[in-house]
């Protein structure tokens, strides 16, 4: 072993707490000269009884011990220690080579056996192997702890079950029992058809088993179930085969999330699509109650062209009681109705608290943790939120995933770039930045749909054109009224009436 390996071994062992048990004073002092090279914290005992006492009184990571000692020999000491710690590494240092000691040592799980007098090279080799094994064991314990924490988190948040190779339930967590209305005793040993709804096609389960059993892959899908009392519920399911080191399936685990409310909402929204034009306009008017615009036409101009009732864009402009102004555009991105529901919920929350918060940071700290609960795994929220103080000098903002908003000043048009990434269900609260501008004429913010349509549908009107020539808003609005748009378009032009 070269010097670099010895140095690494020394680094690995320095922080370990060693118990060294030896009754012979001369042998003990000689061995300590070696041990001191590798351990900073050594508890020394003079016999097995003393060693057991010091083990119980201290936190010990590794044990080196003699066998033949008065009061209690080394093997009897280890036997007592094993009653409270099965894993602590033990190295025997002894002149004995009788077979009975080897057999007893094996039964006690001794990690290594070094004969006296101890040779340094043999000691280093043994120590290296013992520490390597100990580090691996500690890592395994740490991983097991993480796995237990993950399992506890999943059990708390999801509906979990496990089955054997035939599909019989071997484990069902409390959430499974709660939603199915069966006890664990009623579920264990049964098959999942105990909760299968008769409306569900057998082809779905054929596909499931083909995926997890034959292909040994994860299956994902939405399943309609029925509880013990006949209550219908829907779960977003993931079923995974658990494999051993030979790649053989040993069991299956299913993790599900209750999406019954979302499915019911989805069914309600789908029914809206059957409305005629008049009904859809009526529904849209009801939805847009959530939009507030406290400005008159001289103070602000707005272009708002959602594709349909499930638009992903939303906006509002508020004159707050303290004289400040708050405005936002939010754009939900994802599939289905969930982004639209998120947008509507956010607008409702803002409407309720807008005059109870003191600044933009307080507002975002209220709403974004709630937004996290609405967003699915593949959904994200693009947004720009701006708070202008009552003197129209300080502008605080949070922007994620949006184009830069524009501020027209006597020195030209400033582009204020986004200072956050789009918000997802694992994102931290947005960063809030603030700029101070003594004089500014107007401010313009817009969604990505405006950029996508600026060349054709909006008659070539760019954001820079509009902030310099606000009358172009009328031209853009006229063009859109006769054009089929591919995305929602939202634009807010705010004039600084304090100037």
What is the pTM assigned to this prediction? 0.45
Q: Which of 69-78, 180-189, 442-451 has the highest mean pLDDT?
A: 180-189
Q: What is the pLDDT of residue 476?
A: 83
In tens, the pLDDT along 399-445 reads 999 999 999 999 999 999 999 999 998 999 999 999 999 999 999 99
Q: Where in the chain is the domain with CATH 3.40.50.2300?
A: 3-149
Q: What is the pLDDT of residue 96?
A: 63
- What span, in angstroms and rounded, lies between the C-alpha atoms of 152 and 158? 10
Strand 380-388 versus strand 325-333 pairing type = antiparallel
- What span, in angstroms and rounded, lies between the C-alpha atoms of 170 and 228? 19
Give the residue with greater pLDDT, 223 vs 11. 223
Nearest to 467 by CA among 443, 436, 438: 443
In tens, the pLDDT along 1-43 reads 567 777 788 888 888 899 999 988 988 888 898 888 888 899 9
- What span, in angstroms and rounded, lies between the C-alpha atoms of 195 and 185? 15
Percentages (nearest 5) of helix, strand, coil residues in the chain: 40, 25, 35
Give the pair of three-digit tokens for residue 488: 């929602």
- Give the length of the chain: 499
Residues 171 and 164 sit within 8 Å (Cβ to Cβ): no
Q: What is the pLDDT of residue 129?
A: 86
Q: Which CATH number fits domain 158-258: 2.70.150.10, 2.60.120.1440, 3.30.450.20, 3.30.420.40?
A: 3.30.450.20
Q: Where in the chain is the domain with CATH 3.60.40.10?
A: 267-495
Q: Where in the chain is the domain with CATH 3.30.450.20?
A: 158-258
CATH architecture, domain 3-149: 3-Layer(aba) Sandwich (3.40)
Question: CATH for 267-495?
Answer: 3.60.40.10
Residues 232 and 224 sit within 8 Å (Cβ to Cβ): yes
Give yes or no for residue 171 having a pLDDT over 50: yes
């Amino acid at each position: 072993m070269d010097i670099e390996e010895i140095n690494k071994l020394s680094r690995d062992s320095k922080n370990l707490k060693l118990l060294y048990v030896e009754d012979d004073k001369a042998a003990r002092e000689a061995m300590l000269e070696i041990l001191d090279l590798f351990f900073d914290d050594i508890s020394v005992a003079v016999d097995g009884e003393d060693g057991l006492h010091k083990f119980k009184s201290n936190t010990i990571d590794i044990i080196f011990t003699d066998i033949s000692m008065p009061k209690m020999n080394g093997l009897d000491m280890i036997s007592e220690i094993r009653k409270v710690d099965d894993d602590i590494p033990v190295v025997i240092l002894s002149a004995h080579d009788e077979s009975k000691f080897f057999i007893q040592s094996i039964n006690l799980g001794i990690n290594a056996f070094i004969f006296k007098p101890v040779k340094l090279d043999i000691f280093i080799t043994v120590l290296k192997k013992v520490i390597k094994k100990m580090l691996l064991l500690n890592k395994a314990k740490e991983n097991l702890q993480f796995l237990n924490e993950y399992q506890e988190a999943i059990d708390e948040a999801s509906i979990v079950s496990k089955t054997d190779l035939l599909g019989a339930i071997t484990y069902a967590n409390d959430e499974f029992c709660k939603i199915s209305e069966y006890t664990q005793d009623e579920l264990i040993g049964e098959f999942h058809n105990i909760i299968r709804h008769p409306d569900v096609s057998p082809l779905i389960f054929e596909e499931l088993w083909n995926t997890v059993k034959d292909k040994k892959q994860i299956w994902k899908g939405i399943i309609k179930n029925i509880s013990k009392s006949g209550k219908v519920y829907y779960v977003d399911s993931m079923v995974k085969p658990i494999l051993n080191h030979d790649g053989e399936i040993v069991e299956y685990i299913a993790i599900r999330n209750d999406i019954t409310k979302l499915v019911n909402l989805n069914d309600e929204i789908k029914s809206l699509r059957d409305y005629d034009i008049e009904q859809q306009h009526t529904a849209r008017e009801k939805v847009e109650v959530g939009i507030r615009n406290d400005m008159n036409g001289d103070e602000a101009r707005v272009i708002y062209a959602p594709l349909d009732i499930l638009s992903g864009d939303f906006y509002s402009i508020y004159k707050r009681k303290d004289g400040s102004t708050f405005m936002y555009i939010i754009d939900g991105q994802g599939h289905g109705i969930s982004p639209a529901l998120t947008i509507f919920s956010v607008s409702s929350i803002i409407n309720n608290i807008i005059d109870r918060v003191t600044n933009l940071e307080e507002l975002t700290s209220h709403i974004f943790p709630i937004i996290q609960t609405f967003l699915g795994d593949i959904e994200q929220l693009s947004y720009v939120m701006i708070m202008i103080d009552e003197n129209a000098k300080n502008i605080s903002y949070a922007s994620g995933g949006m184009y830069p908003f524009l501020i027209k000043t006597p020195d030209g048009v400033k582009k204020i770039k986004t200072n956050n990434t789009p918000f997802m269900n694992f994102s931290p609260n947005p960063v809030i930045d603030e700029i101070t501008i003594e004089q500014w004429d107007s401010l313009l913010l817009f969604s990505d749909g405006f950029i996508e349509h600026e060349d054709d549908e909006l008659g070539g009107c760019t954001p820079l054109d509009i902030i310099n020539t606000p009358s172009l808003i009328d031209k853009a609005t006229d063009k859109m009224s006769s054009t089929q748009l591919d995305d929602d378009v939202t634009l807010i032009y705010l004039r600084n009436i304090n100037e």
